[in-house]
């Protein structure tokens, strides 16, 4: 997903963002939380969507209530891949781009515990919508951290076009685009209201579908 490439570029070219060592530590700590038995117990007790809020709250605590750093850490901590394969169209070769991730054992457990069913139409299988949280938090980070103009929607659409062109996925995923827009909305609203939670935005997709069906 190009969102991650854009964010990696920002991190390493803008001194106002946390250093890689600090980011790596935060990503690892968030991943350990998701991989923990404590998280699994909470997941059974409050449900999948509410655990998204708990992951977000954990990231805020670990990053001392710095929302930008928390969203950045969450983007890498919730992505279910530790590298992204890209097929370059002209040369037809595959390049594996490494991402910031926890150790292999924690990474595996984290992926097993990631919330699966965050939307009303999440696929009812073992993978569900595991990849959607990285889209959501990545778009939220870009929107929240933009001081001059809102990149969220533009970047979100460009991500999907890039993925189609470079064969990261076979076609543009409409549900990814919707998730990007929700993340963009969350990041925008977060500038005005620091108390807003991810679930309050994610659930809008379910509510809008329900209202249309009435």
Q: Which two tokens stand for residue 70?
A: 């928390």
Q: By residue range, what is the domain housing residue 47?
A: 2-213
Q: Which two tokens stand for residue 112?
A: 């097993």
- Choose among 77, 83, 108, 72: nearest CA to 168: 83
Taking only the tens place, the pLDDT of each residue in 39-59 is 999 999 999 999 999 999 999
pLDDT at position 13 over 60: no
Taking only the tens place, the pLDDT of each residue in 148-163 is 444 545 445 444 444 4
The answer to whether 43 and 51 have CB atoms below 8 angstroms apart is yes
Mean predicted confidence (pLDDT) in 100-126: 90
Determine how many CB atoms are found less than 10 A away from the CB of residue 212: 7
Residue 10 has a pLDDT of 53
Q: How many angstroms separate the CA atoms of 49 and 128, rounded?
A: 13
Q: How many angstroms separate the CA atoms of 10 and 212, rounded?
A: 39
The answer to whether 107 and 82 have CB atoms below 8 angstroms apart is yes
Q: How many angstroms separate the CA atoms of 55 and 60, rounded?
A: 9
Number of domains in the chain: 1
Q: How many angstroms separate the CA atoms of 90 and 207, rounded?
A: 44
Taking only the tens place, the pLDDT of each residue in 175-213 is 888 999 999 999 999 999 999 999 999 999 877 766 544
- Choose among 81, 86, 100, 80: nearest CA to 29: 100
Taking only the tens place, the pLDDT of each residue in 54-96 is 999 999 999 999 999 999 999 999 988 877 666 665 666 666 7
């Amino acid at each position: 997903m190009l969102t991650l490439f854009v964010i990696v570029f920002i991190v390493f070219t803008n001194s106002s963002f946390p250093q890689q060592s600090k980011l790596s530590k935060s990503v690892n700590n968030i991943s350990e939380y998701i991989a923990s038995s404590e998280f699994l117990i909470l997941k059974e007790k409050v449900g999948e969507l509410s655990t998204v809020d708990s992951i977000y709250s954990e990231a805020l605590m670990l990053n001392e209530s710095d929302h930008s750093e928390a969203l950045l850490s969450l983007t890498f901590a919730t992505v279910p891949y530790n590298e992204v394969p890209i097929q370059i169209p002209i040369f037809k070769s595959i390049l594996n781009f490494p991402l910031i991730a926890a150790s292999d054992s924690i990474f595996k457990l984290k992926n097993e515990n990631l919330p699966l069913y965050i939307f009303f139409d999440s696929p009812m299988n073992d993978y569900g919508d595991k990849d959607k949280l990285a889209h959501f938090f990545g778009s939220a980070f870009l929107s929240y951290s933009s001081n001059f103009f809102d990149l969220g929607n533009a970047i979100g659409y460009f991500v999907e076009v890039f993925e189609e062109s470079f064969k990261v996925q076979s076609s543009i995923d409409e549900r990814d685009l919707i998730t990007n827009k929700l993340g963009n909305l969350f990041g925008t609203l977060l500038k005005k209201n620091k108390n807003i939670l991810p679930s309050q935005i994610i659930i809008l997709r379910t509510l809008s579908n329900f209202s249309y069906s009435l």
